[in-house]
Amino acid sequence: MKKVVLMLALIGFTISSVKCQIFKPVKWTFASKKINSNEAVIFVKATMDAGWHIYGLNVPQGGPEATKFVFTKSKDFNLIGKVLEPKPKSKYEDVFKVNVPFHDKEVIFQQKIKLNSSTPTRISGKVSFMSCDKTQCLPEDDYNFALVIKE
């Protein structure tokens, strides 16, 4: 009898732990490259699982949530311009009744920055995004990041 109860408890814990795992179809990586002594570029790479996509930076009004970057303010750097993205694919979405820009497989965003210090500079912030496949969209998600730009 004890073995049966133990086995049922073990199965219950296994099932509940599987349900608690969070599905993350988008993986984020960050890198930087110094252009000169006071400028650098931050590269943000999103890699999507097969069949998944994220939306572009400029989604028409009435469309889904656009991908957004927020950089934590610092006296050590200033943003130069806006985040750049390669030309996204576009498709008409009946649900939103607009053409929606999106990226699938892999995309690299870029942000140019002015460095105000000659010491290593910490850049941090978050990217907010919504990931979808053909049958579902996950709720908007935030990914916090931090990287250090060195010599």
pLDDT in tens, 44-79: 999 999 999 999 999 999 999 999 999 999 999 999
| The model's pTM | 0.83
How does pLDDT run across 6-33, given as a tens digit for each residue? Answer: 444 445 444 444 445 678 999 999 999 9
How does pLDDT run across 112-140, given as a tens digit for each residue? Answer: 999 998 889 999 999 999 999 999 999 99
Identify the structural domains of the chain with CATH numbers, from first to last. 25-149 (2.60.40.1250)
| Rounded Cα distance, 134 and 131, in Å | 11
Burial grade of 76 (CB within 10 A; 0-12, 13-18, 19 or more): middle
What's the angle, vertex CA 112, arms to CA 29 and CA 142, rounded to 5? 40
